[in-house]
Structure 1
Amino acid sequence: MWVRRVIELTGWEPLGLSVDWAAIEGELGVPLPADYKELYEVFGGGVFGDSLYFLGRDESPAFDFLTQWRLSLAVDRDGKYGDVSAVEPYTVYAPGGRGLVEWGSTEWADEYFWLIDAERPGEYPVLARSHDVGGWQRYDMSTSEFLYRVLADADFEPFGMARYDLGTTFEPGSGDPVDGRPRL
């Protein structure tokens, strides 16, 4: 239902990407939320409303979900800075553990994650933080509902973008096709 609302809101024509979910989820060690997988197949990676960066599938690393997760995990595990994590008081999710996996952000440095626990597959609360407000906010809703509310609900504090009247368009992350189809 919420994925359909995001599609209607943006006027986007679904890409219908073919994705090897077994390989992606095998690397992560957990299944991903079903609605996120649908968003990923419909949109790939790119930008909503000229401001919200959605990690999905993209030829460039900037919007590629797995590439960004691997980079975040490598940085989080790098002992050069001690036990400090960029997602304190959490850590970046590592296979078999518990931690955060980023799926989106904004140009204002808002960040959107799932809290994933390998011992509790199927539970994906959205954790978000706004550097303007500080601190983590937990949302027990689907990825697509959270995304829709950010884009369409001006009263969705502190993350609602509708109050800025930026539009609800979607632009693919790169000009390169991810499935052999040209981008318009």
Structure 2
Amino acid sequence: MWVQRVIELTGWEPLGISVDWAAIEGELGVPLPADYKELYEAFGGGVFSDSVYFLARDEGVSFDFLTQWRVALSVDQDGKYGDVSAVDPYVIYAPGGEGLVEWGATEWADQYCWLLDAARPGKYPILARSDDGGPWDRYDMSTSEFLYRVLADADFQPFGIAQYDLGMTFEPGSGAPFDGQPV
């Protein structure tokens, strides 16, 4: 329902990207939300309304979900700076553990993540933090509902962007059509 609303809101023609979910979820060690997979297959990675970044599949690396997660995990686990985490008080999710996986962001440095727990697969609370690096806000809703509210609900504060009248568009990250091959 919410995925369809995002599609209708943007006037987007779903791409129907073929994805090897077993490989992606195998690397993560947890299943991903079903509605996120629908968004991923329909849009790929890119930018909504010129300001909301969606991580999925991107032939480059800017909006590629797995590439971004691997980099974040590597940085988070690098002991060079001690136990400091960019997502404090949390850590980046590592297979078999509990932590954050970013699936979206904004040009203003807002972050949208799931709190994944390998011991509790199927639970996907969204944690979002505004650009000021303040506390994380928790949302117990689907990825697609959260994304829809960010784009269309001016009262969804502090994350709603509808009041800025940026248009309801989507621009693929790679700028090139996908070839339909599995990731």
Q: TM-score, normalised by structure 1?
A: 0.96
Corresponding residue of 1:114? 114
Task: Give the SS at the match of 1:123.
Answer: coil
Instruction: State the secondary structure of the residue aligned to 2:113.
Output: strand
Rounded Cα–Cα distance in structure 1 between residues aligned with 2:17 and 2:125? 25
Which residue of structure 2 aligns with residue 93 of structure 1?
A: 93
Determine the structure 1 residue equivalent to 2:151: 151
* Worse-matched range after superposition: 65-74 or 128-137: 128-137
Write out aligned runs for 1:24-43 (5 A). Answer: 24-43=24-43
| Alignment of 1:81 onto 2:74 | no
Q: Which amino acid is the alignment partner of residue 11 of structure 2?
A: G
Structure 1 stretches of at least 4 aligned residues deviating more than 6 Å after TM superposition? none
1:98-118 deviation line (CA, Å, top 9, x unaligned): 000000000000000000000
Per-residue CA distance 1:111-155 (angstroms, 9 max, x = gap):
000000000000000000002472100000000000000000000
- How many residues are aligned here? 181
Secondary structure of 1:154's partner?
A: coil
Which sections of structure 2, spanning at least 5 residues, go unmatched? Answer: none
Structure 1 residue 180: Cα displacement: 5.7
Q: For the structure 1 residues 180 and 119, does the alpha-carbon distance in structure 2 shift closer, same or farther, using more than 3 Å as the test? A: closer
2:47 aligns with 47
| Equivalent residue, structure 2, for 1:123 | 123
- Please, which moves more after superposition, 125-134 or 39-48? 125-134
Q: Supply the RMSD in Å over aligned alpha carbons.
A: 1.2
Match of 2:163 in 1: 163
TM-score by length of 2: 0.97
Structure ranking higher on relative contact order (CA contacts 8 Å, 6+ apart): 2
Question: What secondary structure does 2:12 align onto?
Answer: coil
Note the C-alpha offset of 1:31: 0.2
3-state SS in 2 of match to 1:61: coil
Q: Which residue matches 1:63?
A: 63
Aligned equivalent of 1:134:
134
1:176 aligns with 2:176: yes
Q: Is the 8 A contact 1:54 1:105 kept in 2?
A: yes
CA distance in structure 2 between the partners assigned to 1:132 and 1:45 by the alignment: 25
Q: Distance in 2 between matches of 1:131 and 1:120?
A: 29
1:17: which partner in 2? 17
